[in-house]
Chains A and B, each alone.
Chain A
């Protein structure tokens, strides 16, 4: 039923006509508020902070509280504003692009995140596929079991791997006892440990979108392919995989984007030998207390991720349209 019809129905009741006009005004006001409250909150706490980060990335480090030279305030009037405009500098950015450490950290982070994303997809796909093919009665339980680790602390789950991967840890004890290796494997504080950590922590993010697109799939398509003599492997690549592509894309973006800027995993499992940009930003901020440089690091990281983030948002919007 359309809105116009509802309005017509209400206004037909002559006695309530005045009240309904007032009510409509109130309704419009409430509708405005519903939009405005979360909108303003996000503008102030999500959008404005990025502007500030950008602003401070153009300033200089100073021994002061807060530790940077003030930039672009209107405190000194318009003349002061223009005077400060001259003091803005892109020194932090030139420094970042010239210092091999930062360039390395960016490149390594993207590569590590990309490899981890592919590994997570390889591990997650068979799980999601198995879940989608499970008897319908079992599926809610399986789904619950995938979501449950997500509810338990991220930090704790990463921490749990330290005890497993240590040279004298549980994995090495097992491998030595069964005679698979004669020397303990060095896994902790290497990139391998980071891969394991990311795959483990982000696995539910991959499995859930994969499962939801695989579950919707019409299995009679596979039956038809089989009847027409198509071998199972090529049926998978020609039918199942293309149909699960929206899930693959959503899952990969959900893993890749946060993994590039990941801090906890490289810090706890990667040790000092590994280089990733989230850790660099953290150290720049907490150890060196260099706010302008860490802001510049954040701006470049954001620029790197802006395209994947927009892709993610479009994928979300499209999924929402389909659900309607």
Chain B
């Protein structure tokens, strides 16, 4: 029996999505506002985008953030994938409970605690605060998110594929690179993207662990927001949203195409 989609269901979805999207839409709309007042419409203009590109401080911060995000997402994806493999493949080893605790706890840990504790670690080992410390902090936070994303793919993975490869004489490491890795690749890619956006986004941990010369974009935006809402910040936010939205859409389209291709291959295999 197919469940019915009642009017109540449709209304709650429409209202829910309106609630989720309206603030973002308004933010984008007002970034094109001629008037300096963010909440009064004064005509269409792109002047805030132009002034944005002349704001050297903001551009520097963007560059720092992009570098931190790319490096930390890449390392975090490597570590997170290893952590996911450990969680799903090695069910029995000493300290496994501690390990899974250390993977899951950072997901919900208040950022002020993570930020403060990492800062105190960096001070204790005598590492100067700056680009390196922010990157290390972001790797630690985001690798856990990558681990969860990859792990959920590994759980549903059909292990008979690996066993077949090994029966045919492929050594485990080769099996991993030729069979397992291609299958979990979509999860690894979305893990990387999640890590990238989380790093791009983070204010609290970056504020604790960053030092002079390594101001990230969220830190810059935050310090300007505290002084008041300006259309220039709206413009910066709109660009950030656009970058992420384009990335997510491209990734999901690629994913869909791969999925269609896979289904076609499976059908062909069944016919053949």
Interface positions, chain A 120-171, Cβ under 8 Å from B, are 123-124, 126-127, 129-135, 142, 144-146, 148-149, 151-157, 159-164, 166, 168-170
Instruction: State which of A43-51, A75-83, A84-92, A100-108 sits at the interface with chain B.
Output: A43-51
Contact of A148 among B93, B112, B245 (CB under 8 A): B245
Docked Cα-Cα span, A42 to B84, in Å, equals: 13
Interface positions, chain B 10-34, Cβ under 8 Å from A, are 10, 12-13, 16-17, 19-21, 23-24, 26-27, 30
A160 and B26 within 8 A (CB): yes
Kindly state whether residue A234 has any CB partner on chain B within 8 Å: no
CB neighbours (8 Å) of A312 from chain B are 104, 108
Contact of A159 among B21, B173, B229, B244 (CB under 8 A): B229
A281 and B116 within 8 A (CB): yes
Give chain B's interface secondary structure class. Answer: helix
Docked Cα-Cα span, A144 to B248, in Å, equals: 10
- For the complex formed, measure the closest distance between the CB of B148 and the CB atoms of chain A, giving whole angstroms: 8
Known contacts A160-B26, A285-B116; is-contact A126 B16 (Cβ 8 Å): yes
Residue of A nearest to B23 (CB): A160
B111 and A133 within 8 A (CB): no
A9 and B167 within 8 A (CB): yes
CB neighbours (8 Å) of A286 from chain B are 207
Contact of B172 among A9, A27, A144, A146 (CB under 8 A): A27
What are the interface flags for B91-127 relative to A under an 8 Å C-beta threshold, 1 for contact and 0 otherwise?
Answer: 0010100011111111111111100111011011000
Docked Cα-Cα span, A43 to B204, in Å, equals: 22
CB neighbours (8 Å) of B80 from chain A are 38
Docked Cα-Cα span, A209 to B192, in Å, equals: 22
Query: What are 9 A-B pairs at a CB distance below 8 A?
Result: A6-B167, A34-B82, A52-B120, A130-B16, A151-B244, A153-B218, A159-B233, A263-B112, A298-B116
CB neighbours (8 Å) of A48 from chain B are 121
B167 and A1 within 8 A (CB): yes
Instruction: State which of A175-183, A241-249, A301-309 sits at the interface with chain B.
Output: A301-309
- For the complex formed, measure the closest distance between the CB of B7 and the CB atoms of chain A, giving whole angstroms: 10
Residue of B nearest to A141 (CB): B252
Kindly state whether residue A294 has any CB partner on chain B within 8 Å: yes
Docked Cα-Cα span, A77 to B86, in Å, equals: 39
Known contacts A126-B12, A162-B229, A316-B104; is-contact A169 B5 (Cβ 8 Å): no
CB neighbours (8 Å) of B260 from chain A are none
CB neighbours (8 Å) of A9 from chain B are 167
B112 and A298 within 8 A (CB): yes
B24 and A152 within 8 A (CB): yes
Among B101, B112, B155, residue most surrounded by chain A Cβ atoms (within 10 Å):
B112
Apart from A6-B167, A42-B83, what 4 extra A-B contacts exist at CB < 8 Å?
A49-B121, A207-B16, A261-B111, A278-B110
B27 and A163 within 8 A (CB): yes
Give the 6 A-B residue pairs with the shortest CB-CB distance, closest first. Answer: A261-B110, A49-B117, A126-B12, A130-B9, A127-B16, A38-B83
Kindly state whether residue B166 has any CB partner on chain A within 8 Å: yes
Known contacts A42-B99, A149-B21; is-contact A49 B118 (Cβ 8 Å): yes
